[in-house]
Chains A and B, each alone.
Chain A
């Protein structure tokens, strides 16, 4: 037993760690990912404490109406005023709420449906797989933004409708990813071992296969949130955004002021920068997660 004892002593020297903790550790040492976390944390704080941060309300008129030459940034109005005399900084701050909400809700929507479809297809195979996966293929064949435009037309304009439309476009990505991941896990040795112990099918899927198949979905969800934010901004830019005129949606702010780009650059730069920075933050987190979770990149 001396060999075994030696092994134990050696093992007890290291901190007990789980797979998740190892991944978290790698994630924490990834500088880019931590920058992403910082950026997104900042945006979340801004969104949560918007009423405290923003000096004015989103629809509040604090300066003169000036259609042709709105007032630029100043010490009083950091991001200037828009054509209706509203404080742009306040609107961008409140816009963080909308964008994060839209990103989160649409991804949760797409993820839940994609999760169910993907697990059914991956586990049952056969005609269930054929029908669901071919449907997903058809959805993927249509460019996401076009599909979203069609869906918004169908569902009508409005914040909820947009979130659903963008959410639907992400379903096939999640479904396919999970299906592939399940297929890979289903053939693995530990699943065979579990079957040899008489573990029934449903438990095999829920307890053994799914937890091992989820990692790529977490990564994809982060990246999909970034895409969702862009998509919603894009839809707003195309005039398919929320119908409420005063809503401080970043994409809508871009769209409203695109024609004034040469006179009032600040009206476009700040909401645009907000979109870019938040999306960049999410992408950094997503890439960092992928690197820390993906077994192929593990050292």
Chain B
């Protein structure tokens, strides 16, 4: 059976007056119903752009240059916008990074949560309101019934993110994309939000794509993790394997730069030297090569593709993968 969502060779470019930014350079992945996929990478590596491109809501300057996004065997990149709108919010929904700005300040929370319900599920006002209370209740907003008429600024950051989640899951989408859902929140709230997400995914058999730069977030949440660098996936493996035995030097570098409570006191964090290449030029060879101590002659000339390593479900794009 074909997977629920299958992205093939997706590339996105941003045209500016002076240059073209190659934000996403041919990524492929598949997602089954109920699967949780983490996409990890540093700022600007193309994580968010990937999800915006999938939903057809890229900023004006952005353009998908190649690839396909097959959702239930329909290429979302080829259907007209009116049809895509039926998918957005209804089949695939998204949660954004900053709950402080992602809610409309002049509309009540109730109106915003019911918006998708009324549109996609053709609910009347009464019914939608009842459903909204149930949703807010479900994401852990106390006294949900009394809060429908409140405005976003009367909610705290964590509560707003819960509202965003309620909005996103209101139509029971098959896929939920969470773009840095906890980045703007403090750590205790982060854990709560992740708990809410995990619970929803389990209860609704919803597939989750969790986009983050925080390895700790994917570690406890995602079944599978893809590591992204300069618009490409460099490693893809079940989260446990990825953390246990990273094969791409970049993944290893990321793991080494995370502070650990169980590490010996003297052990120093190892930052990854250098900075990412400018994405305005076509990159020859492996994009990570200039920062990589494992780089070979081949790395500088030929772009590595994802290939199977160790086991059936572990992939790495590297000419000289890290050995133990």
Contact = CB atoms under 8 A, between A and B. Distances in A.
B106 A199 contact: no
Interface string B119-158: 1100000000000000000001111000001110111101
B84 to A, nearest CB: 8
A1 interface: yes
B19 interface: no
Interface stretch (B64-72, B87-95, B312-320): B87-95
A14 B153 CA distance: 12
Nearest to B156: A7
A154 to B, nearest CB: 40
Contacts of A68: none
Interface string B92-105: 01101010011111
Interface string B250-280: 0000000000000000000000000000000
Interface in A3-33: 3-5, 7-8, 11, 14, 16-19
Interface string A181-199: 0000001111011111111
A138 interface: no
B164 interface: yes
Contact of A196 (B94, B143, B159): B94
A143 interface: no
Interface in A111-142: 125
A147 B89 CA distance: 50
Interface stretch (A50-58, A204-212, A245-253): A204-212
Contacts of A189: 96, 98, 101-102
Contacts of A195: 55, 57, 88
A125 B107 CA distance: 25
B61 to A, nearest CB: 11
B101 A196 contact: no
B192 interface: yes
Interface string B77-91: 000001011111110
Contacts of A1: 140, 142
Contact of B104 (A5, A11, A187, A208): A208
B104 A212 contact: yes
Nearest to A188: B101
Given A3-B192, A16-B154, A190 B94 contact: no
Q: What are the nearest 9 A-B pairs in CB distance?
A: A197-B89, A198-B88, A198-B89, A189-B101, A196-B94, A198-B85, A189-B102, A190-B104, A193-B102
21 contacts: A1-B142, A4-B192, A5-B142, A7-B158, A11-B155, A125-B60, A189-B98, A189-B101, A190-B102, A192-B96, A194-B115, A196-B57, A196-B88, A196-B89, A196-B93, A197-B89, A197-B93, A197-B168, A198-B88, A198-B89, A207-B107
Interface of B: 52, 55, 57, 59-60, 82, 84-90, 93-94, 96, 98, 101-107, 115-116, 119-120, 140-143, 149-151, 153-156, 158-159, 164, 167-168, 188-189, 192
